[in-house]
């Protein structure tokens, strides 16, 4: 039986064909695109349909469905959909639902009711063929009519794209993204130049474009196809492993495996890409052989080395040369202060509890006392805020330093362009990727001091490169590591555990004083326990809100991954409400009150990767989600841009870098071989907590993480910088081999 406005009897032989129904609400969307939706149809006013063929459907759409009925323990009778086709709604109710659902920007439920009341079943014909008649409806003027007509045309084109994509075996979820980039040219690009989609449309990598190309008749050994595969392998190595280049043999083997073609064709494709200046081939920095860079990574690496060499060689603008006052510092802190004041480029490293922040405060205070200017900065908003709290001085993100020029205010550090201060301090420098470091160093004038502060044992940046680690390999760059653990930090279980992990030793278990390990073997039980701790046990025991507890995950996928745990936490902390709007974007649903995080820098919006924000509005009529960042700024995302946001209920350890949370709960399970469980990841995870970190999972997984070292990223920065510093000032070596 199906419950709804009235009781409906499901046929004894329940196979249905050509059932036309309207989508009322999305209930659930899985990452593999399996979708559950509430539907309504003539004679079936309320029922549930499910299946992967429903991928991409939106509330308000009318579908022709084929499938079979079964009994679900939660939803009761449901239609398991085998085939799904979008159709134009025909009944007055379906048209009203369609227009009022937000699918057509500019029309809300009230206006939809007014339009359909006026035109009845002819409404969509009027919109399509006589749009000027829309002005017969109250509250529709010329501007609103134009907005509706444009939105209607876009919706029709996106629907047509969905049909084309389904013919290629591609998810219809990508249709709106393709249209956003190519507009009316979208179908032509799909057929004639599918590899253009790679890198230009979010969510489309080589596999998707290749499927379209092959089904369009592109030969498997096409040079166009193999060149796209070479670029894809370089991009994948940068995105997945942080590599700036790949050795030629590794690139050729990876590409050959991807396209199943002979290696001589791969070499030929690389030669063509070199001739077109899309990749660069150089001698290997690690020995004989060649390496291959994507053009952008190669250019950034050369530029960063040149900027660092320029800064390191320059005459200092600081009025002070040697620090001599007693500030109650440990001896290695005093050395660090003198180093920062006498070297135009220097590095300060050390683990938790070793006094890095206090050392920075003394350095900044000394420079200011002598009349110099100081800018404190960090890669993320959380890290900048934490730096400000620890030093008592203003701090900003690197992105805002580069994009904003604050008006001078009496008593602030920023009396001029922040990047032009006498001393620029970058905290959490292990998070600097190649691109951000290049932009930062380019903005700093010669004579300013650049001090990079970070923990070299933490994870490297999310983006490609390992800037901090590379600088530590250049002997000419002054550096110091703080090793003395201060007494107040020695009492912290977090600090003790972190230093044991850094040394490759298992922390004392189960732990005490801020560190605790709870052993469970089954991943499902681990997930349940993590959710319970984060939402109930810790908030109740510590008398705090659940927003003070952050779940961190070594992996993104799996039972204990960030995606699944985030979904569970959202349903526990911010479930769906009948009176509140929500919007599904792929497998993610956005609701007012959700904690979210941008995962891409968006300079137009002024938001950056890693910031935390809260959803303040979901507006189906304008197809917008509004967020407010922790800095208090309001930003709007269109529904088509929501893949730039991820929910922050559970996040990866990588995305937690630079942040600190009062309480951290994390699953430690060797799912899928535990490929992400490595010492740097565990060390970074543990050091994100201020009061307590609770690890839940398998002891053998914890031991695996402690003892397994990560890979070293393929970069050439250390050698390039060494060559730049050894060359004459007017020279600018570009190649990895010495002149």
Q: Which residues are annotated as a binding site?
A: 353-357
Q: ∠108-145-124 over CA atoms, to 5°? A: 70
What is the residue whose two structure tokens read 């994390």? 666
Is 499 strand, coil or helix? helix
Using only C-alpha atoms, what is the Rg of the chain?
Answer: 29
Q: Provide long-range contacts, Cβ within 8 A and 24+ apart, for 495-501.
A: 495/351, 495/352, 495/353, 497/686, 497/693, 498/351, 498/352, 498/683, 498/686, 498/687, 499/351, 499/352, 501/679, 501/682, 501/683, 501/686, 501/706
What does residue 106 show for φ and ψ, rounded to 5 degrees?
Answer: 100, -10
Among 482, 453, 483, CA closest to 468: 453
Among 48, 117, 52, 120, CA closest to 89: 120
d(CA 691, CA 181): 46
d(CA 737, CA 726): 13
The residues, ordered by sequence, that sit 6+ positions from 158 with a Cβ below 8 Å of its Cβ are 175, 176, 179
- Token reading at 146: 């134009």
d(CA 320, CA 584): 58
What string of DSSP letters covers 539-603?
A: HHHHT--GGGEEEEES-SSSTTSHHHHHHHHHHHHS---TTS-EEEETTEEEETT-EEEE-S-BT
Is 80 strand, coil or helix? strand
d(CA 570, CA 595): 9
Among 383, 412, 389, 221, CA closest to 400: 383
What is the residue whose two structure tokens read 């080395």? 305
What is the residue whose two structure tokens read 């639902």? 97
CA torsion through residues 646, 652, 654, 656, sign = positive
The residues pairing with 41 across neighbouring beta strands, listed in sequence order, are 44
Helix, strand, coil % over all residues of the chain, rounded to 5: 45, 20, 35
Within 10 Å of residue 50's Cβ, how many Cβ atoms?
Answer: 20
Is 532 strand, coil or helix? helix
Among 442, 431, 400, 430, CA closest to 418: 400
Sheet of 245-247: strands edge to edge?
245-247, 290-294, 279-283
615, containing H or E segment: strand 613-619
d(CA 694, CA 664): 6
The residues, ordered by sequence, that sit 6+ positions from 83 with a Cβ below 8 Å of its Cβ are 53, 65, 66, 67
What does residue 389 show for φ and ψ, rounded to 5 degrees?
Answer: -65, -40
d(CA 486, CA 388): 21
The residues, ordered by sequence, that sit 6+ positions from 403 with a Cβ below 8 Å of its Cβ are 603, 606
List residues forming the annotated binding site for ATP: 353-357
d(CA 24, CA 640): 20
In our burial notation (b when 16+ CB lie closer than 10 A, e otherwise), range 182-193 reads beeebbebbeee
Q: ∠524-525-530 over CA atoms, to 5°? A: 100
d(CA 173, CA 158): 10
């Amino acid at each position: 039986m199906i419950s709804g406005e009235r009781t409906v009897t499901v046929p004894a032989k329940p196979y249905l064909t050509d059932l036309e129904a309207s989508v009322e609400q999305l209930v659930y969307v899985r990452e593999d695109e399996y979708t559950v939706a509430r539907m309504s149809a003539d004679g079936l006013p309320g029922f549930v349909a499910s299946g992967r063929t429903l991928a991409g459907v939106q509330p308000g759409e009318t579908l022709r469905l084929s499938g079979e009925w079964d009994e679900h323990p939660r939803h009761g009778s449901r239609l398991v959909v085998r085939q799904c086709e979008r159709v134009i709604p025909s009944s007055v109710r379906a048209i009203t639902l369609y227009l009022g659902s937000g699918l057509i920007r500019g029309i809300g439920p009230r206006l939809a009711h007014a339009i359909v009341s006026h035109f009845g079943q002819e409404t969509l014909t009027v919109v399509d063929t006589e749009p000027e008649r829309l002005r017969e409806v109250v509250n529709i003027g010329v501007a609103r009519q134009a907005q509706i007509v444009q939105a209607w045309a876009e919706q029709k084109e996106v629907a047509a794209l969905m049909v084309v994509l389904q013919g290629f075996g591609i998810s219809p979820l990508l249709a709106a993204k393709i249209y956003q980039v190519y507009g009316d040219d979208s179908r032509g690009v799909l057929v004639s130049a599918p590899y253009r989609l790679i890198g230009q449309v979010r969510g489309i990598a080589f596999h998707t474009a290749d499927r379209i190309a092959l089904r369009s008749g592109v030969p498997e050994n096409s040079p166009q196809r193999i060149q796209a595969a070479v670029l894809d392998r370089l991009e994948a190595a940068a995105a997945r492993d942080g590599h700036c280049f790949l050795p030629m043999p590794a690139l050729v083997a990876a590409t050959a495996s991807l396209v199943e073609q002979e290696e001589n064709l791969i070499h030929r494709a690389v030669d063509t890409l070199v001739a077109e200046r899309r990749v660069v081939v150089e001698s290997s920095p690690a020995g004989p052989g060649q390496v291959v860079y994507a053009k952008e990574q190669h250019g950034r690496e050369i530029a960063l080395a040149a900027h660092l060499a320029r800064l390191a060689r320059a005459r200092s603008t600081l009025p002070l040369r040697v620090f001599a006052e007693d500030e109650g510092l440990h001896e290695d802190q005093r050395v660090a202060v003198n180093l920062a004041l006498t070297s135009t480029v220097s590095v300060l490293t050390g683990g938790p509890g070793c006094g890095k922040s206090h050392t920075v405060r003394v350095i900044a205070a000394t420079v200011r006392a002598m009349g110099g200017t100081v800018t404190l900065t960090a890669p993320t908003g959380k890290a900048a805020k934490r730096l400000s709290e620890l030093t008592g001085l203003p701090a900003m993100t690197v992105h805002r330093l580069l994009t904003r020029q604050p008006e001078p205010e009496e008593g602030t550090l920023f009396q001029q362009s922040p990047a032009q201060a006498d001393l620029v301090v970058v905290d959490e420098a292990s998070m600097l990727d190649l691109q951000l470091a290049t932009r930062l160093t380019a903005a700093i004038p010669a004579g300013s001091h650049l001090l990079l502060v970070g923990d070299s044992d933490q994870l490297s940046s999310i983006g490609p490169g390992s800037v901090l680690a590379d600088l530590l390999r250049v002997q000419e760059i002054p550096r110091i590591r703080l090793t003395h653990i201060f007494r107040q930090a020695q009492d912290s279980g977090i600090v003790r555990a972190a230093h044991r992990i850094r040394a490759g030793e298992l922390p004392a278990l189960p732990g005490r004083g801020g560190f605790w390990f709870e052993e469970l073997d089954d991943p499902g039980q681990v997930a349940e326990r993590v959710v319970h701790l984060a939402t109930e046990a810790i908030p109740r025991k510590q008398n705090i809100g659940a927003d003070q507890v952050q779940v961190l995950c070594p992996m993104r996928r799996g039972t204990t991954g960030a995606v699944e745990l985030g979904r569970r936490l959202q349903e526990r902390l911010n479930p769906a409400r009948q009176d509140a709007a929500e919007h599904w974007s792929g497998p993610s649903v956005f609701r007012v009150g959700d904690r979210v995080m941008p995962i891409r820098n968006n300079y137009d919006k002024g938001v950056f990767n890693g910031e935390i924000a809260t959803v303040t509005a979901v507006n189906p009529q304008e197809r917008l989600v509004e967020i407010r960042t922790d800095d208090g700024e309001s930003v709007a995302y269109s529904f088509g841009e929501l893949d730039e946001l991820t929910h922050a209920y559970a996040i990866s350890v990588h995305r937690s870098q630079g942040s600190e949370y009062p309480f951290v709960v994390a699953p430690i399970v060797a799912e899928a071989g535990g490929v992400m469980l490595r010492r740097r990841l565990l060390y970074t995870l543990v050091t994100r907590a201020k009061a307590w970190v609770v690890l839940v999972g398998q002891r053998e997984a914890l031991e695996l993480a402690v003892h397994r070292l990560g890979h070293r990223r393929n970069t050439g920065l250390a050698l390039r910088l060494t060559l730049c510093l050894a060359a004459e000032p007017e020279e600018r070596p570009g190649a990895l081999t010495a002149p």
